[in-house]
Structure 1
């Protein structure tokens, strides 16, 4: 059921995904083609905000902050998974893998490599602060427009 809190949660996490994507781009290897990187991450943020954060609104301030942090963690998890799958498919099209099982296992290796690149204080701080603010904004919206 569409609610204003779900919309605000989705928009907040889409904005957080945009900011995080812009912070992550300089950390990646030089010459990497990003294509729709930011757009895909913003779509993931919109879905995570709508489904996870927006549906849990209305439980109090502390829960709102925890809810926002959960949303930020889910955003990072699904972003890593989707981008790793895309990279695996790109490498598979260049005949880099001997079989489908090797390609599926490679997703986790690629995600681990990407996750190591994210272990920078600015990215972690932005995710924590953005998640908390998103949760609080969602809670405020739920209280304001039920």
Structure 2
């Protein structure tokens, strides 16, 4: 059911994920073609915000902070799996994998490689602060538009 807290959570995580996407771009190799990277990441933020963070609103302030951190962690894992899958399909079309198991391992390996770009101090601080702020704003929205 659509609620104000779900909408606010979706917007918060979409903005946070777009900011993180723009922060990651300079850390990637120069030959990287980003295409719609920021838009896809923001869309993933919308999905996670709506389904996870907004749906769990309604507790205390501590619950809001915990929900925000959990939602951002879920967003990071979800984004790494999505972009790892996309890259795996691209490599599979170039006949890099000989069977399905190698392709599935490839998703995890590519996701881990992409995850290393997120180990920058500025990105980690932005993720943590964004998670806390998103959780608190979502809790405020839940109380305001209950």
Q: Residues 17-28 of structure 1: matches in 2 within 5 Å?
A: 17-28=17-28
TM-score, length-scaled by structure 2: 0.97
- SS state of the match for residue 22, structure 2? helix
User: What's the counterpart of residue 54 of structure 1?
Assistant: 54
How many residue pairs align between the two structures?
Answer: 146
Deviant stretches of 4+, over 3 Å = none
- Give the Cα–Cα distance (whole angstroms) in 2 for the partners of residues 92 and 39 of structure 1: 24
> Which has the larger displacement, 96-105 or 107-116?
96-105
Unmatched tracts of structure 1, length 5 or more: none
> Deviation at 1:100?
2.1
> Deviation at 1:96?
1.4
> Deviation at 1:26?
1.1
Mapped pair 1:83 → 2:83:
yes
> Deviation at 1:92?
1.0
- Give the Cα–Cα distance (whole angstroms) in 2 for the partners of residues 117 and 20 of structure 1: 11
- Give the Cα–Cα distance (whole angstroms) in 1 for the partners of residues 125 and 99 of structure 2: 39
Alignment root-mean-square deviation, CA: 0.8
- Give the Cα–Cα distance (whole angstroms) in 1 for the partners of residues 83 and 37 of structure 2: 8
- Give the Cα–Cα distance (whole angstroms) in 1 for the partners of residues 32 and 95 of structure 2: 19
Mapped pair 1:9 → 2:9:
yes
> Deviation at 1:13?
0.2
User: What's the counterpart of residue 110 of structure 2?
Assistant: 110
- Give the Cα–Cα distance (whole angstroms) in 1 for the partners of residues 36 and 101 of structure 2: 27
- Give the Cα–Cα distance (whole angstroms) in 2 for the partners of residues 36 and 124 of structure 1: 23
User: What's the counterpart of residue 43 of structure 1?
Assistant: 43
TM-score, length-scaled by structure 1: 0.97
> Deviation at 1:116?
1.3
- Give the Cα–Cα distance (whole angstroms) in 2 for the partners of residues 30 and 14 of structure 1: 25
- SS state of the match for residue 56, structure 1? coil
